[in-house]
Amino acid sequence: MSLTDILSPSDIAAALRDCQAPDSFSPKKFFQISGMSKKSSSQIKEIFRILDNDQSGFIEEDELKYFLQRFECGARVLTASETKTFLAAADHDGDGKIGAEEFQEMVQA
């Protein structure tokens, strides 16, 4: 399964266009524009599984840096400050990584 099986390619493209400039990425805005925030819990868990590149059950900081590239190969890498802000916003238990439930909470908030 790929992200385009769950999200529309045009919504993904619009979300990526919105954050092309360095330090312009907002997770909340990205989730809204891409249509992710309107998906069911099971669809969000599937998106998480796709984004969890090493299938560890968590999205770690090094995976988060390449978050946009999981949606489109040519997308930019998140800046260090964007990555840290994204991680801090989702990592509720302070373990330095984002679990599936934390991701779902952030997307649906």
Q: What is the pLDDT of residues 5-57, one digit of tens each?
A: 999 999 999 999 999 999 999 999 999 999 999 999 999 999 999 999 999 99
Tell me the CATH number at 19.
1.10.238.10
> What is the domain extent for residue 76?
7-108
Q: Are the C-beta atoms of residues 107 and 37 closer than 8 Å to each other?
A: yes
Amino acid letter, 58: F
pLDDT reported for residue 9: 97
- Identify whether 2 is part of a domain: no
For 35, residues 6+ apart whose C-beta sits below 8 A from its C-beta are 7, 8, 11
- Identify whether 53 is part of a domain: yes
Looking at the structure of the chain, the number of domains it has is 1
56 is in an annotated binding site: yes
- Identify whether 68 is part of a domain: yes
- Identify whether 1 is part of a domain: no
46 is in an annotated binding site: no
52 is in an annotated binding site: yes
29 is in an annotated binding site: no
pTM of structure: 0.94
